[in-house]
Structure 1
Amino acid sequence: MTQSLVSRRGLIALAAAGLISRPARAVEFSAAAIDWAMLETALALDIRVVAGAELLLYRKFVSEPDLPSGIADLGLRGSINFEVLRHTAPSLILSSPWYTRLEPNLSRIAPVLSMRIHERGRDPYGAAEAVASELGRRFGREAAAEALIGSTRDELAATAGRLAAAQQPPLFVISIGDPRHFRVFGADSMVGTVLKRLGLANAWARQTSYSAQAPIDIVTLADNPDAAIAILAPVPDDARRILPESAIWRNLPAVRAGRVMLLDPVNHFGGLPAARRLGRLIGLALTTGAPGIG
């Protein structure tokens, strides 16, 4: 068993280096990911990921699970480097319908698994669980997929139990675009479904477009005077500088009452790892406090 595994790994390395032709079994256990939700889920299942797209931004905006050392960066998600992808010799390329136009070229390198988590009007949580299950099945990581699904549900439920000990305000979860505008997440977003699982009311009950709505004028945050505001980092430098001095911002009910939280970055359109991270960050901010803006 060990000798066989070592042999397969050696063949993969040689194939990636271009020293031998790529045999079918040499790439049986590796994946490349174009879509970040697929990437973070594969990493959470301890699947061997040899390449991913926009990894510098992944480290900034997604941050967990950690990227393995040696993973190749394929460049922009919408315009990847096919030569680098070919060199890494994946057995399966993980994508989503956002990148359908790339599939003819991707499929010349390896089979493509494209799965949709986020769709307008649909709760994405079940789709995120389906992605975990399918990746577990494809890579022989069924037990890891079951564990990820169960532990994510359990962690969100445990956080909901802690939050239930005190009355919690409705919550706007936003990302700031500039000093006057923001993006807000609705019920059909991963943010929205996490809020629901935490027993929290989403303060944004209006229309969304593919899970979120933008740009929204900052004054709209006054429409629900009892709500709190959770801001997902990063915050643009001009907004961070201007908002504390803005009379509009300082007079928002949530700001005056100190109900503003600045959260670490989370993948807005992620899978189960993003849901678990967001639930943890919101739970900590509501129970222990988190710095805001202004």
Structure 2
Amino acid sequence: MMLTRRKTLAIGAGALLAPGLARAAQPRIATIDWAMLETILALGAAPVAATELIQFRQIVVEPAVPQTVADLGLRGAPNLELLRMVSPDLILISAFYEYQRAYLERIAPVEALPAFEIGKPPFPLAEQAALAIGDRLGIPTRARLYIEETAADIAARRLALSGRASRPVFVISLGDARHFRAFGRDAMFGDVLGRLGFANAWTADTSYSAAAPVPLEALAAVPEAYIALVGPMPPDVRWSLPENAIWNALPAVRAGRVAMIETTNHFGGLASARRFARLFHAAMDMTDHG
């Protein structure tokens, strides 16, 4: 017998509320924003519901999302029926999703935590969000410890990379075969780059995330720079990049100064900051020293 959509939702919500999974002392939190989701997970907790979990697992990668977390669908249009059924005590968003506040508040209280603001380095905002989430979950000590561990991890990598930091770095992602997105000082990757002791080769303005689209030729403007290429990369671009004449003509590419970074969340919190720092460190160790 085929299940109706309503029955399917009821089964999914019922599994979350089953006797064996009775409410814990922690509040039941749902979140729309991926930076908030990864922070909750990094603190060793789990929300009752979040958005676009299939894509989250592919792009954010870590921390892992438990199968008990209900998938609300699109971040821009979450499934309100399912959200109501899982009955959260609090819904966390960021400023990106303020336009959803009115109808989310019909289900549960909504709180917007800091993520990205134009002209502000996002790392301290991510620390504030982690502290706030720790308070909401009743684990403030764990949140403070995670912040301290993150700072110590980045500081250790800065020391290990100090011999490589004499050259600036373009941190980019590729949207197509001819254009890139540049991450500036007010992007998480750009902020972490500075904390690792490197100058950002991209000095033009960005808008709290990146400047895009920029022609590939612009990467030749700082010929001595490294290029840190962050995934995900469209499959057609990945296949064609080795034969891309413009790419291969860039000074950094010719000199072997390209660090390939595995897929990392461009709009993440401290967990993504740590992942970027670790992968950047590993990738830089594999590049030529020229």
Determine if the TM-score, normalized by the shorter chain, exceeds 0.5.
yes
Q: Runs of 5+ in structure 1 lacking a partner?
A: 1-12
Is 1:270 matched up with 2:262?
no
Distance 1:243 1:90, change over 3 A: same
- Residues 26, 138 of structure 2: 8 Å contact kept: no
- The whole-number CA distance in structure 1 between the counterparts of 2:193 and 2:72 is 33
Quote the offset at 1:19 in angstroms.
Answer: 9.3
Relative distance call for 1:19 and 1:240 in structure 2 (3 A) is: closer
Q: Which residue of 220, 233, 238 maps to 2:218? A: 220
Aligned to 1:58: 56
Q: Secondary structure of the equivalent of 1:182? A: strand
TM-score normalised to the size of structure 1?
0.88
Task: Give, in whole Å, the separation in 1 of the partners of 2:46 and 2:208.
Answer: 31
Of residues 226, 229, 232, the one that matches 1:231 is 229
The answer as to whether partners of 1:28 and 1:91 remain within 8 angstroms in 2 is no
d(CA) in 2 for partners of 1:212, 1:73: 28
Q: Between 25-34 and 259-268, report the one with greater CA deviation.
A: 25-34
Which residue in 2 is equivalent to 1:196? 194
Is the partner of 2:88 in helix, strand or coil?
coil
Task: Please give the per-residue CA displacement for 1:269-294, whole angstroms capped at 9, x wherever unaligned.
Answer: 1111111111111111112449xxxx
The count of corresponding residues between Structure 1 and Structure 2 is 274
Residue 124 of structure 2 aligns with an amino acid whose one-letter code is G
Paired position in structure 1 for 2:132: 134
Q: Tell me if 1:183 matches 2:181.
A: yes
> 2:155 maps to what in 1?
157
- Output the CA distance in 1 between the equivalents of 2:170 and 2:239: 21
- Structure 1 stretches of 4+ with a deviation exceeding 4 A read 15-20, 25-28
SS in 2 for 1:118: coil
Matched residue of 1:187: which SS? coil
Distance 1:80 1:234, change over 3 A: same
Deviation for aligned residue 1:26: 7.7
Whether 1:45 aligns to 2:43 is: yes
Say yes or no: does 1:121 pair with 2:119.
Answer: yes
8 Å Cα contact 1:186-1:207 kept in structure 2:
yes
Letter in 1 for 2:40: A
Q: Percent identity?
A: 49
| 1:282 aligns to 2:260 (yes or no) | no
Paired residue secondary structure (1:137): helix
**Structure 2 unpaired stretches of 5+:** 1-10
User: AA paired with 1:148?
Assistant: Y
- Asked if structure 2 preserves the Cα contact closer than 8 Å seen for 1:31 and 1:47, the reply is no
Which of 254, 257, 270 pairs up with 2:255? 257
